[in-house]
Structures are given as C-alpha cells and as structure tokens.
Amino acid sequence: MNILWVLTGGGLGAVARYLAGVWLMSRFPEPPFPVAMLIVNLVGSLGLGFFFGLYFQAIPLEAYDDSLYLFLGLGFFGAFTTFSTFSTETVTLLYKKKKKQAAFYVLFSIGGSIILFLAGYLSSLFMLTAF
C-alpha cells in the first residue's frame, strides 16, 4: 500500500510540475535563466516545509510508515520539485557560456529552496502556536 501512496502523490506532483512549468514559461517566454523551474522548486520547498511543520511539528527522519507523508511529502513534493531538471538546466547554461546566469540559478535554487523550506516550516509552527 505504501508504494501506491508514493505512486499516486508522485504522479500528481509530476503533472502539477508540468502544468506549472508550462504556465510559467508562457509568462516568461525568453528568460535569462530557467525561471519556471526555479519558481517550481522554491514553491515546492516552501510547501514541503509548511507540510512538515503543520503535520509533524518537526522534520521527520523516518516517516516511511505514514501514508500522508508518503503521498504528500515523498510523492507529491518529491515529484513536483526536481533536482535532475535543475542540474540539466545548469549544465545547459554553462555550455552556452552563461556563467553568471548559471551561478545565479544555482545560488537562488539551492539557497532559496533551503530558506523557503525553513520559512514554510517555521510559519506553520507559528500558526499552530498562535491558534
């Protein structure tokens, strides 16, 4: 049953990433760096942090028996955000000799994802204690 939770959440996350990417690329048709994937990864990190804080009130180290974690945390957010596409787009920028754009993309993707994960996590904990 656990595999089904991951499969379902992952399928929905992948479709959501695709739709968000298509929509964002229509808004930014010729960006200097991969804006769509940056935004998707930042939003996904924020959402995962918010989920962890709201649902677990902690960052779980072992939650592989929890069906909501498997569906939403591992499945949906795992498929919604993508390190492989980030890596491909970074290498593409480097091949095109766009070193500044590649550096900006790496810095904001990694740093921004960590900061927004923490922001989501801490804001959900704040919400829980405020209400």
Binding-site residues from annotation for Na(+): 78, 81
CB 59 within 8 A of CB 121: yes
Sign of CA dihedral 61, 66, 69, 74: positive
**Binding site listing:** 78, 81
Q: What is the Rg, in whole angstroms, of the alpha carbon atoms belonging to the chain?
A: 16
- The three-state DSSP-derived secondary structure of 36-53 is HHHHHHHHHHHHHHHHHH
Answer for the pair 7, 67: CB distance below 8 angstroms, yes or no.
Answer: no
Q: Which residue has the tokens 């980030």?
A: 86
